[in-house]
Amino acid sequence: MTDAELSEAEKTFILHSVQDNFREDGRGNEDFRHMEVETGLISNTNGSARVRLANTDVLVGVKVQLTAVDPEKPEVGRLDFFIDCSANATPAFEGRGGEDLGSEISAMLTRAYSCPSAVDFHSLCVLPGQQCWLLYVDVLLLECGGNLFDAVSIAVKAALFNLKIPNVTMTKDEGGVELDLSDDPFDFKRLNVAGAPVVVTVNKIGHKHVVDASEKEEECTLARIILGVTEKGTITSMRKEGSGSLDSDSISEMMESARKVGMELNKILLKALEEEEKQGAKTVGFLR
Amino acid sequence: MPTDTRRLTGPESSQSPYNFAPCSKLDMRNLEVRPDGRSFKQLRPLFLRTDVVSQARGSSYIEMNDTKAICAVYGPREVLRREDFSLKGQLTCDFKFATFSCKQRRQHQQDSQEKDLSVQVLEALEPAVCLHKYPKSQINIFITVLQHDGCALSAAIMCASLALASAGIEMYDLVVASSAAICGSLTLVDPTAQEEETILKSTVKLDANAGSVTVAYLPSMSQVSALSSDGELSFEVLNKSMQECVANCQRLYPVLEQTLVKHQQELEASKS
Amino acid sequence: MAAPMMVCIPGKKICRAGDKYVPGAGTFLRNGFIHSSLVGVVKESTDEKNVKTISVVGKENNSIIPYIDAIVIARVTNVNPRFCKCEILSVGKHNLQDAYRGMIRKEDVRALERDRIEMHKCFRPGDIIAARVMSLGDAQSYLLTTAENELGVVSALSESGVPMVPVTWCKMQCPKTLTEEFRKVAKVQPEFIKFSHS
């Protein structure tokens, strides 16, 4: 994933710093890096957000489209995640290079959002048994600086918070379905994202674990667990990643850390988003 | 969606008629006996056999009632693509549901779920294989689920670990896997497809805790090599069911051990 | 050994490692114990210092790959002035299921007069050679050497398609047409003959 090759000495240095709960950039093991979140910055989308977490830069656009319902679940709408690992971020993504990473992230997001309490899927159904909204959540990785999973999930949650779904009324005639779209641009509904999870990655380094690992720290880890954590502290999906193995006690400890961090992260994110909404802060964009 | 131009494909999406039938879902809230008559903590009988594909270096077959999978291991062989060069051996894994294995017909190309499962099987096995003994080589694992009735991931992991062992690939340990589905206070060990789907595909919230957990375990090292959960679970419930899965893995381990030992004894007997 | 046959599976603890017992093939060391890494039967071998080497012997056709210092049998596929390419067919006594690519550089063909070597006077495509693995090489191929008397061309066909007979260390003769062709001929030792027939 990264092109940062570390020597044994550098790895040992990072290992020791994690052991002492004082990481190379001065953080503790359960601290996040500085993060910037901005929403509503792309006009052609129904909801968009950009997250910058230290050197990781992620842009998310959500577009809503009408589609036929899934016959297995006729009364709910759907979410569709796509991660575009652009070669801008690292040349390794060129061509099909980023495909595996992209499908891994989108699989994790799909699973994290697959529980019924994540968002109100029933409100995304326009006409039960016929038509529903399909939310295309497209993620563009602009820069990779470690901890992609978490940054992407935060950006997705922010974009869903920002989402404005036009109000559509559908009526069934004898001839078929009639669709009525309101022409008032301010006639839209919002999605409640209070139950939406954020993804927290906990990396095992030596005998301890860290959250929000930098690129260098990711090089040092053999196993990590990735969890979707909601504001209430429930875990919506989990998987272990990497070529190493873990003992079950340390998994419990890592899960506990992830839950603590995830709950806090959800709270802060929602507060920041609400504040931004209230202030109507002008967009900063990409040039700062 | 990428399509295979060399074949005549059916329509892009089609539906099983059973999707329109009255719901076959279970009533989880008032579930007293499981549909197949097992108790909640009862595992399905496990049947294993090694060396079933003659061309492969190693292979195995697994059956857990109606979940059936076959796995073949090829290699170690040379890595052909130049950029994949590494002094550590590489493991690749290809997980596929046979097109007729599930309720809904599967495409012949790997879909995203199968890709995700491939990665999970791979990561469950990687810690167990002595890859440093196979420099510049790759070991390919191919898993086909012939019939899917729940716990495909754990069946695939066990099947693949047995196939690797029968291929004579050096390993630190076998890998045993087990799943559980959780709904409220109920924990259903080794769930069937119907039980899995009722819990995971529900559009209404069944309970504060509804989901499933799969754990892969290295018994002689007491390490967890894969861990995956779906649905929404509280920390305590997740932790508890994880421990339960580990305990079940330890119960399954002797079955795997016996399969390999018996097979080896037969080989030795035929030699002398 | 009259003791009952002990069948192991990967990860199984065999015994404590120490001065008397050392881990051999098919085993690994963890926390001071010898564990099996294969499915197979435990074998003990005692050397003159009374140290017992514990090894596990699995299937006949072990998953062997070329390793450094191994004697390999290879078929020459391509010869050019700087090096020749070949495919490794067997390692020691074991045949490989899939061929590995190997390469012999000009300077590794023989030990003496290395600067006067002409590749096409040493190997031709199709020759079967015995060689030693020098290093794991690069992404492409293993590096092999034939710079020993016992290494080099073992079997080659003449232009008329007849197996040739070695006449000197650098020439082989066709028994039909009696023409001589240049090769880096191996002085085949009895143990190599055993290799090729077993």
Task: Tell me the per-residue pLDDT of A262-279, one tens digit each, with 9 for 90 and over.
Answer: 999 999 999 999 988 888
CATH for C7-57? 2.40.50.100
Q: Which amino acid is at C61?
A: N
- Are the beta carbons of A103 and B116 separated by less than 8 Å? yes
The reply to whether A99 touches chain B by the CB within 8 Å rule is no
The predicted pLDDT at position A167 comes to: 87
Q: How does residue B2 score in pLDDT terms, banded at 50, 70 and 90?
A: low
**Does the ipTM exceed 0.90?**
no
pLDDT tens digits, residue range A221-244? 989 999 999 999 999 999 999 888
Contact B119, A104 (CB under 8 A): yes
Q: How does residue C60 score in pLDDT terms, banded at 50, 70 and 90?
A: low
The reply to whether B165 touches chain C by the CB within 8 Å rule is yes
- Are the beta carbons of B227 and A251 separated by less than 8 Å? yes
The predicted pLDDT at position C198 comes to: 38
Q: How far is CA C123 from CA A214, C77, C134, C171, C189, in A?
A: 54, 10, 18, 11, 20
- Please indicate, yes or no, if residue B28 is contained in any of the structural domains: no
Contact B206, B196 (CB under 8 A): no
How many structural domains comprise chain B? 1
CATH number, domain at B248? 3.30.230.70
Q: Of A245, C13, A223, which is closest to residue B175 (Cα–Cα)?
A: A245
* CB atoms inside a 10 Å sphere around CB C90: 19
Q: How many Cα atoms sit within 13 Å of A86 on the Cβ side? A: 13
C3-13 mean pLDDT: 83
Tell me which of C29, C30, C39 to substitute to probe the interface with B (most B C-beta atoms closer than 10 Å): C39
- Structural domain boundaries of chain A? 8-279
Q: Which amino acid is at A164?
A: K
Q: What is the pTM of this model?
A: 0.89
- Are the beta carbons of A240 and B228 separated by less than 8 Å? yes
Contacts of residue B23, Cβ cutoff 8 Å, sequence gap at least 6:
none
**Is the pLDDT confidence value at C151 over 70?**
yes
* Residue of chain B minimizing CA distance to C57: B168
Pairs across A and B, CB distance < 8 A: 112
Q: How far apart are CA C29 and CA C55, in angstroms?
A: 12
- The answer to whether chain C touches chain A by having 3 or more C-beta pairs less than 8 angstroms apart is no
pLDDT tens digits, residue range B69-102? 999 999 888 887 766 567 788 899 999 999 999 8
B148-159 mean pLDDT: 94
Q: Of A184, A117, C29, which is closest to residue B203 (Cα–Cα)?
A: A117
- Are the beta carbons of A237 and B229 separated by less than 8 Å? yes
- Please indicate, yes or no, if residue B267 is contained in any of the structural domains: no
The reply to whether B76 touches chain C by the CB within 8 Å rule is yes
**Is the pLDDT confidence value at B205 over 60?**
yes
* Residue of chain B minimizing CA distance to C138: B85
- Are the beta carbons of B224 and A259 separated by less than 8 Å? no
**Is the pLDDT confidence value at A200 over 60?**
yes
List the structure tokens of C148: 């020993």
- Please indicate, yes or no, if residue B32 is contained in any of the structural domains: no
Contact A53, A145 (CB under 8 A): yes
More confident position, C198 or B25: B25
- Please indicate, yes or no, if residue B184 is contained in any of the structural domains: yes
The reply to whether B226 touches chain A by the CB within 8 Å rule is yes
Of the ranges A167-181, A254-268, A273-287, C59-73, which is most confident?
A254-268
Instruction: Pick B227's closest partner by Cβ from A75, A104, A240.
Output: A240
CATH for C71-197? 2.40.50.140
Compute the mean pLDDT over every residue in chain C, rounded to the nearest whole number. Answer: 86
Enclosing domain of residue B199:
45-259
- Structural domain boundaries of chain C? 7-57, 71-197
- Are the beta carbons of B235 and A234 separated by less than 8 Å? yes
Instruction: Pick C7's closest partner by Cβ from B79, B128, B261.
Output: B261
Q: How does residue A3 score in pLDDT terms, banded at 50, 70 and 90?
A: low
* CB atoms inside a 10 Å sphere around CB B268: 14
Contact B60, B163 (CB under 8 A): yes
Instruction: Pick A247's closest partner by Cβ from B19, B120, B223.
Output: B223
Residue range A8-279 in CATH 3.90.550.10: no
